[in-house]
């Protein structure tokens, strides 16, 4: 299957779920509750397609996703961009797309930490996120960054960017993960629960 359509299909599958996180910043401090949801239009930034500025892509994210779905925009087409497989830019879009196919595995991972996102690397980062998730799919894997931000229209959070760690490190104020729960409809699966956390 075309790599772009594969990434889209993987995203459609994870969109059936939502992830609930409960975070603590220390004893006697209020807990923070985060729900991560998925919208197809998020995929534009998840895949890093905004960096492919030297080829013609629809400005409408919804239209772009539709063209990927029906095969009008393919990996073969976007690979014509000079930025697609260019390591010198600090980001490799092909690798980002490949890794995004495993987004569900990253979010399910036991190697998973959450921080309040503060760092703007040399004040040059254009990422405007509320929280940073750092995780590994498997023990030998490189670290993977997932940036989430609260959606304007709801109380939920969406992924605004994600990519493997390279030369630039991101971090922030670490929070203690008390609970990580994966929910589909009325079915909930607890992926992690801190021994001090009591589910109400």
Each residue of 169-188: pLDDT tens digit? 777 788 999 999 999 999 99
Phi, psi (5° rounding) for residue 99? -65, -35
pLDDT at 168 over 90: no
- Which structural domain range is residue 151 located in? 3-193
Whole-angstrom Cα distance, residue 175 to residue 83?
Answer: 35
**136 inside domain:** yes
Position 17 in a domain: yes
**Domain count across the chain:** 1
pLDDT of residue 120: 56
At 68-91, the pLDDT tens digits run: 999 999 999 999 999 898 876 566
For residue 200, being part of any structural domain is answered with: no
Question: Across residues 102-117, what is the average pLDDT?
Answer: 94
Residue at 104 is within a domain: yes
- Binned at pLDDT 50, 70 and 90, residue 144 comes out as very high
Q: Which two tokens stand for residue 43?
A: 């995929």
Q: Quick check: is 154 in a domain?
A: yes
Domain for residue 199, yes or no? no
Residue 140, in any domain of the structure: yes
Q: Establish if 46 belongs to a structural domain.
A: yes
Strands 157-164 and 172-184: unpaired
């Amino acid at each position: 299957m075309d790599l772009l359509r594969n990434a889209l299909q993987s995203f459609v599958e994870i969109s059936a779920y939502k992830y609930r996180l409960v975070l603590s910043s220390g004893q006697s401090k209020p807990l923070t509750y985060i729900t991560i949801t998925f919208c197809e239009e998020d995929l534009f930034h998840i895949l890093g397609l905004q960096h492919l500025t030297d080829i013609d892509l629809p400005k409408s994210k919804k239209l772009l996703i539709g063209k990927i779905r029906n095969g009008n925009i393919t990996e073969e087409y976007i690979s014509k961009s000079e930025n697609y497989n260019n390591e010198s830019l600090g980001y490799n879009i092909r690798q980002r797309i490949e890794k995004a196919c495993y987004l569900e595995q990253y979010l399910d991972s036991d190697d998973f930490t959450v921080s309040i996102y503060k760092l703007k690397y040399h004040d040059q980062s254009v990422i405007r996120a509320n929280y940073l998730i750092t995780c590994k799919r498997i023990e030998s894997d490189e670290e993977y960054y997932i940036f989430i931000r609260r959606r304007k229209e709801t109380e939920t959070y969406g992924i605004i960017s994600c990519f493997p760690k390279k030369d630039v490190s991101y971090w922030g104020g670490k929070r203690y993960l008390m609970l990580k729960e994966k929910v589909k409809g009325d079915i909930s699966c607890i992926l992690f629960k801190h021994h001090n956390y009591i589910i109400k």
